[in-house]
Amino acid sequence: MKRKIYSILTATALLFLGGCTGDYLDINDNPNSAVSSTPELVLSNALNTTAGRLTHNQIGNFFGGYWAPSGSYSGFIEERQFDYGATYGTGVWNGCYDNLTDYQYIVDKAEAQKWKAVSGIAKVMIAFNYQILVDAYGNIPFSDALKGTTSIRPKYDDAQAVYNGLITLLDAASADLKVAISGDNPSPAGQDIVFKGDLTKWRKFANTLRLRILMRQTNVTGKDLKTEIAKVVAEGAGFLGAGATVTSTPGYLKTAGKLNPFWENYVQNAAGSDAGAKQAYVCSDFFITTIQDVLKDPRLPRLAAKNNAGIYVGVPLGDGNDANLFPKRSWFGPAIIKSFDQPMVLMTAAESFFLQAEAIQRGFMTGDAKATYEAGITEAFTAAGLTAADAAGYYGSSIVNANWANSPDKIEAIITQKWVAMFSLTGFEAWSEFRRTGFPKVPLATKAVQAKAPARLFYPTSEIATNADNVAAQNVTSQFDNKIFWAKK
């Protein structure tokens, strides 16, 4: 986090204060803030950074049942055993808070100039990042965070209180985004690499994010989700619809460090050679078996690739012997691996439909749950390169958890189809939904140290070192038993 940098700089400066005046530290009043940029220019980089972070999705792709390490790579002990500590996945914490600092800078500067459009976008993205943090760690610094040198050891807020704060923040974002573009409220179109300045689409994204946050709390006793969701509907913009997957398109180039991050890390470098970690990641046995044998899903050739023997076969998470070498197992398919300049996905439109379908099915919204569910499947099919007719043939079949009428547990059907739709794109969401609902029934890693799946991440060593008392007060001792407040009990 950037406050760590401040602490180091301050400590270094104090070594030299004996021969300096009291104005020494006035060189930079707030090292957490840019001193020569403007909020709209920072926006492009902040959005690109959000979209390019892979750590949380990689973790989710493992724990959510999508990926497994191939036998061609050693290591991955944490994933194979579900046994990890405070050094595991630290990029989730550090990356989110670093990114949040940029968005908070945008809000502070934009609001000072009454630039509501820019401020509203940044508020949506602050909520987006904070939800990742809550869903990974539970209680986190929120009300006392992002204050630079005035709060270098921020207190922690209760996770549900943070969720409530995010709803309030998204309400404020929507109000900002409703303000008409004018000379006093300039359009961010030139710097908005997500929606090109379309503020109605940003409002739809904000509403869908609010719905995600609310639906995550279906296990929370006493939460009046029907009333809260009615407020989201009343906002007026609606939710993300067909073809409205939220993506970042900064203009990727075939140059080192400027390719699509997923492509550069998992596929090829700028010179066209295989990425160093390409053969490390393959489809899990659970994913292949579920799609091929259980769901009999025609998307399989789009989502996965055949092995060198011409069949689809995955690796059981935990196994790593020669039978599971990369050429012998299924890699990612053409719907996932397209080109060096493919967009990075922040939220799929299919997820929006499935969130709505679940809300309707649970009685929190009015509407047709079946039709909305089928619209979600259609969106997922077309996004994968198939047709609406292909989707209709699939959900019109007799397959359980594809056909609505033949699925005895409608919530399981919705979550199962959402899980397929998010394959490799938003793996962290798949892990969160598994922890919330128990669907689909992702198996334990074969080398798991306990008969339990991971429920959370540990606070990272960087936070323990700089904010030890507040970390200790959270009393997190187990990645299995210290569940996030919304998790299935």
Mean pLDDT computed over every residue of the chain: 92
Residue 100 counted as domain residue: yes
Length of the chain: 489
Question: 315 forms bridges with which residues in the sheet?
Answer: 284
The answer to whether residue 266 scores a pLDDT higher than 60 is: yes
CATH number at residue 150: 1.25.40.390
Comparing 69 with 16, the larger pLDDT belongs to 69
Comparing 411 with 3, the larger pLDDT belongs to 411
The answer to whether residue 40 scores a pLDDT higher than 90 is: no
pLDDT, position 210: 98
What distance in Å separates the CA atoms of residue 216 and residue 487, rounded to the nearest whole number? Answer: 8
Nearest Cα residue to 207 out of 175, 249, 254: 175
The answer to whether residue 18 scores a pLDDT higher than 60 is: no
For 24, residues 6+ apart whose C-beta sits below 8 A from its C-beta are 13, 16, 17
pLDDT, position 94: 97
Residue 334: DSSP 8-state: T
Residue 418 counted as domain residue: yes
Q: What is the pLDDT of residues 305-315, one digit of tens each?
A: 999 999 999 99
Long-range contacts of 252-260 (CB under 8 A, 24+ apart): 252/340, 252/341, 252/342, 253/341, 254/340, 254/341, 259/340, 259/341, 260/339, 260/340, 260/341, 260/342, 260/343, 260/344
Residue 479 counted as domain residue: no
The answer to whether residue 1 scores a pLDDT higher than 90 is: no
Residue type, 66: Y
CA 199 → CA 114, 186, 247, distances in Å? 16, 12, 15
Strand pairing category for 67-69 and 281-283: antiparallel
Q: What is the pLDDT of residues 72-104, one digit of tens each?
A: 998 999 999 999 999 999 999 999 999 999 999
What distance in Å separates the CA atoms of residue 429 and residue 132, rounded to the nearest whole number? Answer: 9
Range with the poorest average pLDDT among 29-33, 175-179, 215-219, 323-327: 29-33
Contact 317, 79 (CB under 8 A): yes
HSE toward the beta carbon, residue 112, CA cutoff 13 A? 8
Residue 391 counted as domain residue: yes
Which of the four pLDDT bands, split at 50, 70 and 90, describes residue 29? very low
The values of phi and psi at residue 142, to 5°, are -140, -70
Percent of the chain with pLDDT over 70: 93
The answer to whether residue 373 scores a pLDDT higher than 80 is: yes
What distance in Å separates the CA atoms of residue 251 and residue 93, rounded to the nearest whole number? Answer: 27
Contact 77, 292 (CB under 8 A): no
The answer to whether residue 4 scores a pLDDT higher than 70 is: no
Query: For residue 80, what are the domain limits?
Result: 36-250+342-472
Cis previous bond, 440, omega within 30: yes
Which of the four pLDDT bands, split at 50, 70 and 90, describes residue 16? very low
Say if residue 387 is exposed, middle or buried (CB neighbours under 10 Å; 0-12, 13-18, 19+): exposed
Residue 309 counted as domain residue: no
Out of 13-17, 23-27, 323-327, the most confident range is 323-327
The answer to whether residue 28 scores a pLDDT higher than 50 is: no
What distance in Å separates the CA atoms of residue 212 and residue 351, rounded to the nearest whole number? Answer: 9
Helix (H) or strand (E) holding 413: helix 410-421
Residue 302 counted as domain residue: no
Region 392-414 average pLDDT: 98
Residue 397 counted as domain residue: yes
Which of the four pLDDT bands, split at 50, 70 and 90, describes residue 14? very low
| Number of structural domains in the chain | 1
pLDDT, position 41: 87
pLDDT, position 268: 97
Q: What is the pLDDT of residues 421-435, one digit of tens each?
A: 999 999 999 999 999
Q: pTM score > 0.85 for this model?
A: yes
Which of the four pLDDT bands, split at 50, 70 and 90, describes residue 36? low
pLDDT, position 5: 31
pLDDT, position 17: 28
Residue 355 counted as domain residue: yes
Q: Where are the alpha helices (DSSP H) in 178-224?
A: 199-215
